[in-house]
Structure 1
Amino acid sequence: MLNVAIIGATGYTGLELLRILAKHPEVEVSAVTSRKEAGKKVAEIFPFEGKFGELIFEEPAPEKIAQKAELVFLCVPHGAAAKAAKSFLEAGLKVIDLSADFRLKDQSIYETWYKTAHEAPELLPQAVYGLPEIYREEIKRAKLIANPGCYPTASTLPLIPLLKARLIQEESIIIDAKSGVSGAGRSAKLRLIFCEVNEDFCAYNVATHRHTPEIEQVLSEASRKNLKVNFTTHLVPMNRGILATIYAKAKENIDEKTLRSCLVDFYADEVFVKILPEGIFPNTAHVRGTNLCAIGLKFDQRTRRVILVSAIDNLVKGASGQAVQNMNLMAGFPEELALDTRPLFP
């Protein structure tokens, strides 16, 4: 039995971890932390969490947590996560960080995009980017996992096989992505209250979204070139889900059959990536509550442009589900354990 702790357990990702781990046969959640709710039982704040209802929120003291757990999930904001990760690693625990603090390998790029100094730059070389379908073997050996962002997960999984096979023009990539409101976290923000979001649809952080360098880093590794992409994000008035529509120019003499075969073959053995049949494209409703990434493809012969559409649940494959997938790999469990959930519909 693997004992784990959830640091920052009252946010959306922490609660999603509780939901998923409640049915994990090989894991016990031995500690949950929250500075604001310290001293209260989980059931006092979230009565739907039956299995873990008697757990008491506590302060995130690494020495104390190390006596109860072997691995921690960090569900805290960027900046705070780096300092916490350092303390937990020094206490002998493995760390899966759901923030952005260890996703970017270049300290200066992190500090430019996140407008803050990195609190543990010496740990960047040992952090493994936790996209299991691409970095599975490295994840198995890791002590520190940088869990990918939700937008990067939805954006990179469709593109990586085509870039590795050199089927698309690297400089032509445009990513148009939409997210549900839970992607912005659980803290109160005026622009995210019901009256501001309902019946509205807007672009935000145009050409400045912080996930841009993360996407470019992963795609650059796949293509072995220094890639730049156009990445535009939109807020949709729904609770959860991401839909990314991706455009790229095909190289000469490429047809749809070649493109589709590349995706199908690359992900043939992957449990959580589903390439949809010709003419079928994913809905966010079709992956809600699951760890799936569903991908549809169309090749526009007239414009020579490849059109990829991917859908994930931003709280599962885009965050907590992928974190559990990484934990399973690190612990030697079957990768799909506790993650074989069917979509919630409607």
Structure 2
Amino acid sequence: MVSPTAARRVAVIGASGYGGLQTLRLLHDHPEFVVSYLGGERSAGRAWSELVPFLPLKGNPVVRAPDPEAIAAEADFAVLSLPSGLASQLVPALLELGVKVVDLSADYRYRSLAQWKEVYSSEAEQFERHDQALCAEAVYGLVEWEEARVAAARLVAAPGCFPTASLLPLLPFLKQGLIDRSGIIIDAKTGTSGGGRAAKENLLLAEAAEAVAPYGVVGHRHTSEIEQTASQVAGQPIQLQFTPHLMPMVRGLLATVYGRLRDPGLTAEDCTTVLQAAYRHSPCVEVLPVGTYPSTKWTRQTNRALLSVQADRRTGQLILMSAVDNLVKGQAGQGLQCLNLMAGLPSAMGLPLLPFYP
């Protein structure tokens, strides 16, 4: 283990949003990182205890407007938890000043700036961007598939929560060519915290409680993000159907992925072995026994992804199931996994892997 005296300084920008809060909570217990700078636009100038009395920080720091030079003077790493478009206004200067960045937004998840502008068209109208070179350089931080590249990176784009839960069970079967590359369907369900902390009508208790509702049925932004990585691993273009649903719970995400087996003789046991082999060295991924299916409550407030698989001999379909906490493995925890690797630390250091239950 690296000596605790060799502390790594971290700036958290967008500190009072859900992603920032979860990042700070995880860093609070981390043996190697020290939070050295809190940044935010709307909260700038306010003491942390005034904003977040339930999560005390040493010295009760004041949140400051994000300033690249001030951040570089006080931090070695920066975690950006900002609305799409805003991170791209800070990242070029931070990198130029030698700060390594983990971005929790979608600004650098696409290798093509043109694709980002197409998918995030409303944000593209608000923010001027000319950083195609950084889009091409950024590493997509799905740690279990990009560990070496993340460790060597200065800019990592943490994947979205839906892509994380969907890609982890799907990629091993695409990589080995065990399922058809067409006809893949993803049905996913998430808690209301996935919509962020800003007030939105559909996330009000009176609207979301006692209800399950699909949204973004065609063209959800995470569809193209999932397809990009799936195509890269499969070695050819992948188009798939993705439908998210809002659930009456605060946190948690369950993805069920359907694909047609190329060999209908494969059993659930065979397919479980495929997942076990793919993630045998991944401390944050657990493959459940055949017949045991994941629950979001089993991953609540942890950085674990629970995977399970079933094969339907009657239809020839493969059914893949995945549960994550959308704010931890689906966001801040995965960001900290990336930060660990970038700092030369074990990927799971400081991350919770066991839930409080029920």
Q: TM-score surpassing 0.5? A: yes
Name the TM-score, length of structure 1 as normaliser. Answer: 0.98
Moved more, 62-71 or 38-47: 38-47
Work out whether 1:290 is the aligned partner of 2:302.
yes
Provide the residue aligned with 1:154 in structure 2.
Answer: 165
Instruction: Please give the secondary structure, in 2, of the residue aligned with 1:160.
Output: helix
In the alignment, what sits opposite 1:272? Answer: 284
- Residue 3 of structure 2 is matched in structure 1 by none
* Alignment partner of 2:342 out of 325, 330, 333: 330
2:70 is the alignment partner of 1:98 = no
Amino acid of the structure 1 residue aligned with 2:241: N
* Equivalence for 2:23: 17
- What is the match of residue 260 of structure 1? 272
Segments of structure 1 that go 5 or more residues without pairing to the other structure are none
- State the partner residue of 1:301: 313
Which 10-residue stretch deviates more, 249-258 or 224-233? Answer: 249-258
Query: Aligned partners of 1:52 and 1:194: how far apart in 2?
Result: 33
- 1:278-327 CA-partner distances (Å, limit 9, x unpaired): 10000000000000110111000000000011000000000000000000
Match of residue 190 from structure 1: 201
Structure 2 SS opposite 1:230: strand
Tell me the amino acid that sits aligned with residue 327 of structure 1. L
TM-score by length of 2: 0.94
CA distance in 1, matches of 2:167, 2:347: 20
In structure 2, distance between residues paired with 1:319 and 1:344: 19
Kept in 2, the 8 Å contact 1:8–1:74? The answer is yes
Deviations 1:253-301 (A, max 9, x none): 5412322211111111110111100100000000000001101110000
Which residue identity is paired with 2:102?
A: I
Equivalent positions of 1:1-346 (< 5 A) are 1-52=7-58, 54-115=60-121, 116-117=123-124, 119=129, 120-256=131-267, 257-346=269-358
Letter in 1 for 2:320: L
Q: Is the 8 A contact 2:264 2:316 kept in 1?
A: no
- Give how far 1:53 is off: 5.8
Q: Which amino acid aligns with 1:128?
A: V
> Cα distance, 1:55 vs. partner?
1.6
**Off by >4 Å, runs of 4+ in structure 1:** none
Distance 1:342 1:252 in 2: 36
State how far apart, in whole Å, the 2-side matches of 1:52 and 1:11 are: 19
The percent identity for this pair of structures is: 42
Question: Unpaired segments of 5 or more residues in structure 2?
Answer: 1-6
The alignment partner of 1:205 has SS state of coil
1:112: Cα distance to partner?
1.4
Cα distance, 1:172 vs structure 2: 2.0
Name the SS for the 2:182 alignment partner.
helix
Distance in 1 between residues matched to 2:74 and 2:216, nearest whole Å: 41
Aligned residue type for 1:165: Q
- More displaced, 104-113 or 210-219? 104-113
After the TM superposition, which of the residue ranges 29-38 and 213-222 deviates more from structure 2?
29-38
- The total of aligned residue pairs comes to 346
CA contact (8 A) 1:42 1:53 kept: no
3-state secondary structure, aligned to 1:58: coil
Task: Supply the RMSD in Å over aligned alpha carbons.
Answer: 1.2
